[in-house]
Amino acid sequence: MIEGFQNAFKIPELKKRILFTLGLLAVYRVGAHIPTPGIDGQALAAFFQQTQGTLLGFFDMFSGGALSRLTIFALGIMPYISASIILELLTVVIPYLEKLKKEGEQGRKKITQYARYGTIVLSAIQGLGISLGLESMQSPTGALVVPSPGWSFRLMTMLTLTAGTAFIMWLGEQITERGIGNGISLIIFAGIVARLPSAIVNTFRLMETGELNLLLMIFLIGLMLAVVAAIVFMEAGHRKIPIQYAKRVVGRRMYGGQSTHLPLKLNTSGVIPPIFASSIISFPLTIATFTHHPWLEWVSTALAPATPLYTLANVVMIFFFCYFYTAIIFNPMDVAENMKKYGGFIPGLRPGKRTAEYIDRTLTRLTFVGALYLSFVVILPDYMIRYLNVPFYFGGTGLLIVVGVAMDTMQQIESHLVMRHYESFLKKGRLRGRR
C-alpha cells in the first residue's frame, strides 16, 4: 500500500488531482470554523449539548460540527443532497424529468442544474428557519443565543448560510471535475472524520484516568475493524447475472456473440435508507427539544437509541427505504428492454418480460440481504454506546459513509495507477467488486 501511495505521486496528473482535492477540502474545513455574525457562541454550544441524538445532532455530524458552532457552512451539503433525492423521486411521477433522465449527458446536466436551483431554495428556507429558531433558543443558564434578534439578523443569517451552502456545492463540483473522487461525498467524509482526532484524544484521557478499561478498548477496536471489514465486503459484493449476445451479420462482418454479465450489488440503495430512517426517527426528539409537550417527551423517550421501539422502527424504515429507493433507481424492465434491443439475453430465459421478472426476483432477494446488513451496521453502535459506555460517537450511518467514500476514492486512484502500469494499492487483493 505504501508503494501504491508513492506511485500515485509519480504521475503528474494524478498528483495534481490529489493535491487539488486536498486543497479544496482544507478550504472547506477552514470555512467550517468561520462563525456567522450575531451569535453568542458559548450559549449556542451549551444548547447543542442537549441535542445529541436529535435531528440537529444528526445534521451536525454531516457538517463536521459547523452547525453546533453556526459557522458560514452550518447547513453543510445536506440541502444539495435533499434536492438531488427529491429530483430523483420526482423522475418517477413527472414525465418530463423521466425523459431528461434518459437523454444521457445533456439530460443529466439539466437535472443537475435543477438540483442547484433546488439547493438554493432549500438553503434559504432552512436558513430562515434556523434564524427564527435561534432567536428562541437559550442556554441552560438562561443566556440568549441571539443577543439582538430581528429581521436584520434573520436576513443576514439566511443570506450567509445560503451563500455558504452554494460555495460548498461549488467546491464539491470542482473536486469531482478536477480532483479525485466524488466531491460531494468527500466533503461529507471530511466533515465526519473531522471529529475523529478529538475523540481519540478524549479516549486516551479516559484511559489515563482509569475510567475506560484497556481490555474493553482493545475489544472495541477489534470489533470496529471487523465491522469495517464487513462493510467493505458487502459494499464490494454483487451477483453476476450471465448475459449472452446473439451473433449478427452486417455486410461482410459478424458482430456480437460475446458473453458478459450484469452485476447487481448487494446494497443497491447505498447509504440513503439509513439517512432517511435516522432523520425521521430523530424528528420527534428534535421537536421535543423546543416544545416540552408531555406526549412528545414520551415519544422521544420511547424512541431513544437502543430501545426496543427505536430498534424496530429503524429496521422497518431501513427495509422500506431499501426497497423503495432501489425500485426508483433501478428498473428491471428498462434493463431487459435495453438488453433485447442490442441482442442480449440471459441463457434459458426469453428476452423481455421473462428476463425482467428474473432480474426483479434476483434484485428483491439481494435487497433483503442488503437491508439486513444496513440494519445491523446502524443498530450495533447504538447498543455499544448505551451498554458499553463508548466515550465517543461511533455512528453506523457515519461509518457507512466514511468506508464507502474511502473505497470509491481508492478505486479511482487505483484505476489511474493500473491504466499507467503502476502497482496499485492492493496488488493481489484489489477490491473485487470492480471485477
- Tell me the DSSP string of 231-275: HHHHHH-EEEEEEEE--EEETTEEE---EEEEEEETTTTTTHHHH
Give tens-digit pLDDT for 120-130. 999 998 888 88
pLDDT at 192: 83
Note the pLDDT of residue 318.
Answer: 92
Query: How many Cβ atoms sit within 10 Å of the Cβ of residue 205?
Result: 12
Which pLDDT value is given to residue 42? 76
- pLDDT reported for residue 429: 47
Q: At what angle are helices 396-419 and 12-31 packed, to 10 degrees?
A: 160
C-alpha–C-alpha distance, residues 338 and 361, integer Å? 18
pLDDT, tens digit, 9 for 90 and up, residues 303-347 = 777 788 888 988 999 999 899 889 888 889 988 888 888 788 888
C-alpha–C-alpha distance, residues 41 and 37, integer Å: 10
* pLDDT one-digit tens code per residue, 49-92: 665 555 566 666 666 667 777 888 888 888 888 888 888 888 87
Average model confidence (pLDDT) across the chain: 81
252-271 pLDDT, tens per residue?
Answer: 665 556 788 889 998 888 88
Torsions phi, psi for 25 (to 5 deg): -65, -35
Burial 9-35 (b: 16+ CB within 10 A, else e): eebeebeebbeebeebbeebbebbeee
The cell for 109 is: 446536466
Question: d(Cα 18, Cα 412) in Å, to the nearest integer?
Answer: 11
pLDDT at 283 over 90: no
Q: How far is residue 136's CA from residue 132's CA, in Å, rounded to a whole number?
A: 7
Domains delineated in the chain = 1-195 (1.10.3370.10), 198-392 (1.10.3370.10)
Q: Which residue has the higher pLDDT, 206 or 380?
A: 380
Residue pair 430/424 in contact by the 8 Å Cβ criterion: yes
